[in-house]
Amino acid sequence: MSNEFDHDAVAADAARDGGRDAAWQDDVRAGVRHVRDLDALPLSAGERAAAVQAAANHKVRAPKSYLDLIDWNDPDDPIRAQVIPSPDELVETDGELDDPIGDHAYSPVPRLTHRHADRVLLFPTYQCAVYCRFCFRKESLTAIGRGYTRAALEPPLDYIASHTEIREVILTGGDPLSLPDKALEEIRARIEAIAHVRLLRIHTRVPVALPARVTPGLVAALQGRLMVTVVTHFNHAREITPATEAACRTLRQAGFVLLNQSVLLKGVNDSVEALEELCRELMYQLGVKPYYLHHGDLTRGMAHRRTTIAEGQALVAALRKRLSGICNPTYVIDLPDGGGKVPLSACQAEPKGDGFWRIRGLDGQERDYRESVDES
């Protein structure tokens, strides 16, 4: 299996099977796969030069169907902002980090992070179907960059087998769904052979950026003993299309639980209207529950996409008023050095003592609340 580029391996597999998955392969081939492919896009000379420089720090890649969502007449297009390198990426700001959420501090063996007792992150590949400019793992993707090999997963699988407290294995990366069906099936089978593991979770942008890849073969590769949760990564309502909807429907009908995590990105989704439409349509149109809204990580060269925490808090407070409970994500910050994901919603309750609280209602009015508990 190729170490260079998982998609080549996937395409080779599909070709052996009679090329049944041609639709998504065409989508990959016709998209941006290398920096030189940017020449075919309507970029300014300045953007192109910056793109070449930025690509040294973080690869450039996007399938054609994703690029087709871009309105090239709009320099601030929210899809463009996610995948086309910007000259701003070359600016480093104080406080930015190579490992913004502390993956490495909690990595007992390569390709695994174990920060919470009951769940681990497993990295079967460091390659993706699309490279997002804001990715908080971009340094790892560049420095490690490798695809899947069976041998590379032996140490993390042994680790999981010998730690009986682990109930949930989270495939992340890289994008696990950029792997061939056969590799996914192999990984799933190895994990489900470990009796104490209960749930397989998959963090992926494939349903958004390469929805045609969500084939019956991919679904079958993931079905087995384990409960499966797929956590998608939609950041804007414009990513909700007939194709992404079909991909989510296929995953839902397979019995997988679908959640979404978004990153709060300045100029992409940092308005109440953008977040409201995204979260509402995720739930009502796709049947995908908004799970987390991540505060922008301290990724290098990303100051131009970060909001302040106060801005994020004001946005989620406004969302809370506009959207039903199930449409609201939890706004979290992933602390550097492995402090974990901490909810950032502004606290609305203040203890006054003797069982009294002062609590702000959604209408903004403060109210006294008296607790009543059985003291006996």
Query: Under rule CB under 6 A, which residues in 42-101 are in contact with ligand PLP?
Result: 101
For residue 175, state whether it binds ligand SF4 (rule: CB under 6 A).
yes
Residue window 193-232: x/- pattern of binding to ligand SF4, with contact defined by CB under 6 A: ------------x---------------------------
Please count the CA atoms within 13 angstroms of the CA of 358 that sit on its side-chain side.
Answer: 6
For residue 198, state whether it binds ligand PLP (rule: CB under 6 A).
no
DSSP state of 345: P
Nearer Cβ to ligand SF4 (78/174): 174
Asked whether 110 and 152 are in contact (CB, 8 A), the reply is: yes
From the list ligand PLP, ligand SF4, none, partner contacted by residue 113 (C-beta under 5 to 8 A by kind): ligand PLP
Query: Under rule CB under 6 A, which residues in 301-360 are in contact with ligand PLP?
Result: 341
CA distances from 230 to 105, 110, 205, 261 (A): 26, 23, 10, 10
DSSP 272-317: HHHHHHHHHHIIIII--EEEEEEPPP-BTT-GGGPPPHHHHHHHHH
DSSP state of 197: -
CA distances from 141 to 39, 46, 133, 197, 287 (A): 24, 25, 12, 27, 31
Of the ranges 131-139, 143-151, 306-314, 350-358, which one interacts with ligand SF4 (CB under 6 A)?
131-139
Nearest distance from C-beta of residue 263 to ligand SF4, angstroms:
8
From the list ligand SF4, ligand PLP, none, partner contacted by residue 131 (C-beta under 5 to 8 A by kind): ligand SF4
Residue nearest to ligand SF4 (CB): 135
CA distances from 83 to 36, 113, 138, 226 (A): 15, 27, 13, 34
Nearest distance from C-beta of residue 117 to ligand PLP, angstroms:
10
Asked whether 243 and 273 are in contact (CB, 8 A), the reply is: no
Dihedral of the alpha carbons of 78, 82, 88, 89, in degrees to the nearest 10 = 170
- Which residue reads 């950029």 in tokens? 178
Alpha-carbon distance 205 to 28, whole Å? Answer: 14
From the list ligand PLP, ligand SF4, none, partner contacted by residue 128 (C-beta under 5 to 8 A by kind): ligand SF4
Nearer Cβ to ligand SF4 (153/171): 171
List phi, psi (to 5°) of 199: -140, 140
Residue of 137, 213, 294, 305 interacting with ligand SF4 (CB under 6 A):
137
Residue of 33, 116, 146, 252 interacting with ligand PLP (CB under 6 A):
116
Nearer Cβ to ligand SF4 (299/328): 299
Residues of this chain that interact with ligand SF4 (CB under 6 A) are: 128, 130-132, 135, 137, 173-175, 205
Residues that bind ligand PLP (CB under 6 A): 101, 113, 115-116, 119, 121, 170, 341
